[in-house]
A and B are shown apart, each in its own frame.
Chain A
Amino acid sequence: AQSVTQLDSHVSVSEGTPVLLRCNYSSSYSPSLFWYVQHPNKGLQLLLKYTSAATLVKGINGFEAEFKKSETSFHLTKPSAHMSDAAEYFCVVGGGGAAGNKLTFGGGTRVLVKP
């Protein structure tokens, strides 16, 4: 079984300041991990993915995430928030289920960016 916990349901940052979104996962095998973003009235867009290569993963729009197996964490960061980063972010673990391609989502973190 696998599960994902996003530790903050809401995060508020000022434009130009760093963003940190926290995610912990549980998996009985080496997982694939993802961050997806959802802007209002849009679909889920892949930000980045970890699939057992480098532990520091770079994604689109300046985001990156670090896989820490000892802490079972996959936190998402960005050095400087932009107004366009206001959205909901989902941490996701893949590879579950009998067919091995089921995604399990965290509860989401809604990011508010203040000018």
Chain B
Amino acid sequence: EPEVTQTPSHQVTQMGQEVILRCVPISNHLYFYWYRQILGQKVEFLVSFYNNEISEKSEIFDDQFSVERPDGSNFTLKIRSTKLEDSAMYFCASTRDRSYEQYFGPGTRLTVT
């Protein structure tokens, strides 16, 4: 059964450093998403991406964040200058259409020290 994959599973970085979180969505999917979950808090929507552009972003997704689909398979989330409060589990999701049945990856745990 096809699945969404994410790498790395755990990333530790120092404050101020850039990080790139990688996702490989399901191959015939067209809509891509990033969510995050700070420890002890709800899963929060960050951004949705379709047809090579952002279709929606939350207020969390400020200028420090960017997303890219550099080739036909990867979908990346970049944080330019990490802050302590960026420490969270980041989930990638994809869906074939807007039926909302989003398929999630296992997550990347980002720890900013």
A residues near B (Cβ < 8 Å) are 32, 34, 36, 41-46, 49, 51, 90, 94-95, 97-108
Residue from B43, B101, B103, B107 whose CB has the most chain A CB atoms within 10 Å: B43
Q: How many A-B residue pairs have CB under 8 A?
A: 66
Q: Given A46, A102, A108, which contacts B103 in the complex, CB threshold below 8 Å? A: A46
Flag if A106 contacts B100 (CB, 8 Å): no
Chain B 18-49, CB-CB to A under 8 Å as 1, else 0, gives 00000000000001010100000111110010
Q: Quick one: given A99-B48, A99-B56, A102-B48, are A90 and B43 in contact (CB under 8 Å)?
A: yes
**In the complex, the 6 A-B pairs of residues with the closest C-beta atoms, listed nearest first:** A94-B100, A44-B104, A105-B43, A99-B56, A43-B106, A99-B55
Q: Is the CB of A49 within 8 A of B44?
A: no
Contacts of A95 in B (CB 8 A): 100
13 A-B residue pairs with CB within 8 Å: A34-B100, A41-B106, A42-B106, A46-B103, A49-B101, A51-B100, A99-B55, A99-B56, A101-B31, A101-B100, A102-B48, A103-B35, A107-B41
Bound Cα distance from A114 to B22, whole angstroms:
37
CB proximity of A7 to chain B, nearest CB, Å: 14
Interface set, chain B 66-98, CB cutoff 8 A to A: 91, 93, 95, 98
* Chain B residue at minimal CB-CB distance from A31: B100
B interface residues, how many (CB within 8 angstroms): 27
**Is the beta-carbon distance between A103 and B106 smaller than 8 angstroms?**
no
Which one of A101, A102, A108 lies within 8 Å of B42 (CB-CB)?
A: A108
- Asked whether any CB of chain A lies closer than 8 Å to the CB of B102, the reply is yes
> Are A43 and B56 in touch, CB under 8 angstroms?
no
Residues of A contacting B44 with CB < 8 Å? 105
What chain A residues lie within 8 Å of B103 (beta carbons)? Answer: 46
Q: Do residues B42 and A105 form an inter-chain contact, with CB atoms below 8 A?
A: yes
Task: Give A106 to B42 CA distance when docked, in angstroms.
Answer: 6
Tell me the minimal C-beta distance from B40 to chain A in angstroms: 9
> For A108, what are the chain B residues with a Cβ–Cβ distance below 8 Å?
42-43
